[in-house]
Amino acid sequence: MKRTIGIFAHVDAGKTTFSEQLLYLTGGVRTPGSVDAGTSHLDTHEIERERGITVFSGQARFSYHGDEYTFIDTPGHADFLSEAARTLPILDAAILLIGGSGGVQAHTLTLFDLLRTHKIPTVLFVNKTDLAGFSREETLSVLKARLSPDVLDWDADLAEFAAERDADFFEHYFSDSVTESLLHKTLARLLGDGECFPVLFGSAINGDGVLACLDTVSQFIQTSFDETAPFAATVYQIRHDDKGRRITFCKATSGTLRTKEFLRGEQVDELRLYQGGQFVSTPKVTAGEVFAALGPRELLPDGDPPYAPLRTRAVVDDPVRSLPSFRILEAEDPALSVCIKGGEIELTVSGKIHIEILTHLLKTRFGISATFTKPTVSYRETVKAPAIGFGHFEPLRHYAEVQLRLDPLPRGAGLCFASECPRDVLAESFQNLIRTHVYEKEHLGTLTGAPLCDVRVTLLDGRAHNKHTEGGDFREATYRAIRAALHHAESLLLEPYETFTLYLEPEFLGRAMSELQTCAAECEICGHDCIKGRAPTATLAAFRFDLASFTHGTGVLTSHFDGYEPCHNREEVLAAANYDPDSDLENPASSVFCAKGTSFVVPWFDAEAMMHTEKKEG
């Protein structure tokens, strides 16, 4: 049987030590590595060894009780949550470490919720139980209160736990006819369905409890992969080796793939199986294996990029020449969402440590010295009502014209395309080009230059020339039509919101509620030590800083992105942005016409009268 398991933890919970012991005890490595000595088998990057933290997800392979395992070590720092989240689609199970002395930290809650959302069977391991002051009973109580009432002490009465949650098992339990096989089957179902979270205790530095944790996964997590089916794989990570070659990391979910065959239309030149920083080449991979492919150049991780809350600008000597290097980092971390704005490179980040890592990577890998502006909240823009825009691109020997309508969509819908243009007016091939150009770029709004979202772009009409139209002409016409429509539209500024849970001592509840209300939060007290609610990301970030101060570090706040809503302090944000859409030369709304062999630019507010298509009714 093949299994892929991920290891997750808050920083300083002992995750790397646990990982090294697991590899050592199962024969995956000859000696366990050490964070302090910089000899970890999984933290192989220079910056990881310098800082003593995991930054990039690593993998290793080992065998145990006749089964094959791929072990995925993920970053524990909150700034690299997106790196950890990218591994979730390939996991069959997860082990979540909790520091016995530190308890349930905010990031622990975030990771646990992430694993539950993705329905990953999860085993909890409480580490560092050998340290003074550790209380098993108190830890269990906190785990049940803050994580889930379905947390199960693996040394407790397992049958009683199962009887409380499974009706069929209850009948056997009540009639005293429980068998070991039935108990095993029931616990496996509960674990697989997210109704049971086994918790084990130990000390990773001594190896105590490590194999018991693996035994739980081995006995209760079952997998099945079909090697005879057509090949399919999940892409979860992009990296580049020291020669700049692109490495696509995947998990085979069915079938078999051999070198020189095709992965989603791209030929595979080499297949690799990684063990930390080392690898072996293999002629084929089969269902259930995690592998790396060299050859594909366009594949990206499956799924949408994780949400990153902050936007910053990179200050570099030459943004145009530096952009390809940023694009390489964006391929490795899609959450960066790189774009050029106002002649500068703009991207999203997760926090201070993330920026420090990016600065280091740019310098060491590409020789680029970069600084970053103070991060601000990542805003979005949309439209309140339908708006029509034209784009005309006709420099000498080129021609394309596009008429589009922008319609508002519900929150979270993203950007969509539709066509109401007959094919006898504009050929299907040109309409498909327009569709491509709508989706290929992050279009910016006209209020602050924030990305456009929750809009349907509908093609109403278009014109092409039999001789002079080329594909790039429709790119220019489409971009300009969208931009012109935004100038006509009544735009809406959106800001990110988060749902949050706050645990703190009862004596601080009153002050916390008072400060949260000044943060435009909607919240309520839940129990004697908990507040739950929803607030703008911008104000919640400020509250988080104050919380540490007035609770003396005892308050635990966890939050999750919960979509975009109209900005609560719109005028203040607009003033701070000071954005002039007509000065944004990378995003013009003007059109280009040609007369008597000479091209000229017409501003968006005058261009409509010169168009060759007639304005459609919205």
- Domain at 59, CATH number: 3.40.50.300
Indicate whether 187 belongs to any domain.
Answer: yes
299 domain residue, yes or no: no
- What CATH number has the domain bearing residue 602? 3.30.230.10
Taking alpha carbons only, the member of 218, 274, 209 closest to residue 57 is: 274
| In a shared domain, residues 372 and 396 | no
Claim to verify: residue 429 and residue 454 sit in the same structural domain: yes
> Which pLDDT value is given to residue 34?
66
- Going by C-alpha positions, the residue among 166, 157, 223, 225 that lies closest to residue 195 is 166
407, 318: one domain? no
DSSP track, 270-336: EEEEEETTEEEE-SEEETT-EEEEES-SS---SSPPPP--EEEEEE-S-HHHHHHHHHHHHHH-GGG
The verdict on residue 268 lying in a domain is yes
Measure the CA dihedral 507/540/83/64, to 10°. Answer: 20
Q: Give the residue carrying structure tokens 């596009």.
A: 402
Give the CATH number, domain containing residue 254. Answer: 2.40.30.10
In a domain, 306, yes or no: no
**Mind spelling out the 3-state secondary structure of 390-407?**
EEEECCCCCCEEEEEEEE
Does 225 reside within a domain?
no
pTM of this structure:
0.81
Helix or strand or coil: residue 349? strand
**Which residue, of 352, 378, 404, is where some domain finishes?**
378
Whether the CB-CB separation of 87 and 72 falls below 8 Å is answered with yes
Query: Are 401 and 520 members of one domain?
Result: yes
Question: What pLDDT score was predicted for residue 36?
Answer: 58
Last residue of a domain, one of 193, 220, 247: 220
Ranges in the chain, pLDDT < 70: 33-53, 618
510 and 569 share one domain: yes
**Cα 246 from Cα 232, distance rounded (Å):** 20
The pLDDT mean for the chain works out to 91
Is 211 in contact with 21 (CB distance < 8 Å)?
Answer: no
Residues 65 and 108 grouped into a single domain = yes
- Judge if 454 and 552 occupy the same domain: yes
CA-closest candidate to residue 566, choices 497, 488, 465, 470: 497
Task: Provide the token pair at 455.
Answer: 């809009």
227, part of any domain:
no
Q: Which of 66, 69, 94 is nearest to 289 (CA)?
A: 69
Last residue of a domain, one of 350, 378, 406: 378
Q: What percent of the chain has pLDDT over 70?
A: 96
CA dist 169 and 557 (Å) reads 38
463 plus 357 within the same structural domain: no
Domain of 373: which CATH number? 3.30.70.870
Distance of alpha carbon 430 from alpha carbon 471, whole angstroms: 8
Which pLDDT value is given to residue 162? 96
Domain check: are 216 and 337 in the same one?
no
pLDDT at res. 16: 86
Q: Residues 272, 354: one domain?
A: no
Indicate the DSSP class of residue 374.
P
- Domains in the chain: how many in total? 4
Same structural domain for residues 478 and 558? yes
For residue 209, give its domain range: 2-220
Report phi then psi at 166, rounded to 5: -135, 115
DSSP 228-270: TSPPEEEEEEEEE-TT--EEEEEEEEESEEETTSEETTEE-SE
**Percent of the chain that is helix, strand, coil (3-state, to 5):** 30, 30, 35
Same domain, 152 and 30: yes
First to last CA, the chain: 58
Contact 381, 454 (CB under 8 A): no
Within a domain: 226:
no
The DSSP string of 232-243 is: EEEEEEEEE-TT
Residue type, 314: A
Hey, is 489 helix, strand or coil? coil
Q: Kindly report the CA angle at 224 between 269 and 273, in degrees rounded to 5?
A: 30
Is beta strand 232-240 parallel, antiparallel or unpaired with respect to 197-201? unpaired
Q: Does 562 reside within a domain? A: yes
